[in-house]
Amino acid sequence: MFNKQFLTAAAALGMVSGAFGVSCDDPTATINSQADATQIASCSKVDGDVVIGTNAGPDIDLGGKLTEIGGALRAEHNGLLNSLQSSSLETIGGSFWLQNVTKLSSLVFTSLGEVGSIDWATLNALPQPTFGNPGITKAKSVTISDTFIESIDGINVESLSDMNINNNRRLGKFSTSIKSLTNTLYVQANGLNLTMEMPNLEWIANMTIANVTSFSVPSLHTVNGSMRFDSNYFENFIAANLTEIQDGDLSFVSNPELTNISIPALERVGGGFTIANNTALEKIDGFAALNEIGGAVKLRGSFTEVDLPKVNDVKGAFEVVSTEDISSSCSSLGSFKGGVVQGQYSCTGNDANANNDTSDASNGSSGSSDDKDGAASPIRASMSTIVSLAAVGAFITAFL
């Protein structure tokens, strides 16, 4: 009887011991120390999630044999972690999730090329992530919010569903080789002198750009949804190859230094067309090919000239108001009342209040939204832990 009890207890102890380690096939492998990280790094692949515990740190290195994490790599609510790195990790199947890791100052993943998504927020000490060459070339979405990051290099994905870059107050430059965005590009409230270069972007669903000093999209030819520019600081916007905004709006609102808008090949705007409160813009004459506008037109500002030579179909209302004398332009545009404009038509100059109304011509329709469910998915209990808890019960029972 004693031998049987002893063997049962010994077996239970072995199972209990396994519950406190981490293994390659755990649904969730939680790293609480570098010893745990070393154990995980000895795996060539981890099928589930790898979670950095809230008290892990200060330095966690996942370099070794580990090349793939099938699930997410997560660290959140950790005020101890200073550095997180891996020289071997190539793929994260789920989210690369860093949230509220307030002391993280070094993030180095020199072999990482593919992630499910990047979800970073509240990284108060990280000046710049370090990736290899060519860096991350495959991801579904990228969200970087409320960080200390000064520049983002190494995110060279060709196709994304969403990109959201907001409230990174030190971010001064962002250049990316993205070619298409199937949902939304949202950039707002970053560094005061942020320059943004997207030389390869050809197609995008929706775009909202705010608080940017320079924005370049020389290859852009199609916007499926809306394209909006609010409260930016660039002087010029040029999209020489853009031919169509298919279903949404085009708007430039409250860009105080904007002096030139040139989209010479644009033929159609599917929604509303708004240019309002851009006080340095003297002429609206950069739409030489624009033919059809599927919504209302609202042009309000301090311009002296409006020239839309090819417009012959405006589905909604047409309003032009300026603080300056635009009688010559109003005379030219007057022909629009004869069937070009299907809604109400008005053209007025010398109106001191011309810059006051900055509401969108579409009255809020066709807007894009980037709200995301930022809630973390629940950490799953591993089956080995459940079995081990049962073993503890057996161990106790054996000595009763």
Average pLDDT over residues 156-164: 95
Average pLDDT over residues 137-163: 94
Q: What is the pLDDT of residue 17?
A: 33
Measured in Å, how far apart are the chain's first and last C-alpha atoms? 13
Q: What percent of the chain has pLDDT over 90?
A: 80
Of the candidates 69, 73, 124, 70, the one whose C-alpha atom is nearest the C-alpha of residue 97 is 73
Beta carbons of 229 and 254 less than 8 angstroms apart: no
Helix (H) or strand (E) holding 7: helix 2-19
**Concatenated DSSP letters of 103-116:** T--EEEETT--EEE
Question: Could you report the per-residue pLDDT of 363-378, keeping only the tens digit for each?
Answer: 533 333 333 333 333 3
- Spatial neighbors of 5 by CB under 8 A, at least 6 apart, are 398, 399
pLDDT at 71 over 50: yes
pLDDT at 10 over 80: no
Q: What is the pLDDT of residue 388?
A: 36
Q: What is the pLDDT of residue 361?
A: 75
Average pLDDT, the chain: 87
Rounded CA-CA distance 239/241 in Å is 6
When mean pLDDT is compared across 16-20, 124-128, 380-384, the lowest value belongs to: 380-384
Which SS3 state, helix, strand or coil, does residue 39 take? helix
Rounded CA-CA distance 122/147 in Å is 5
Beta carbons of 103 and 125 less than 8 angstroms apart: yes
- Spatial neighbors of 243 by CB under 8 A, at least 6 apart, are 221, 222, 265, 266, 267, 268, 289
pLDDT at 384 over 60: no
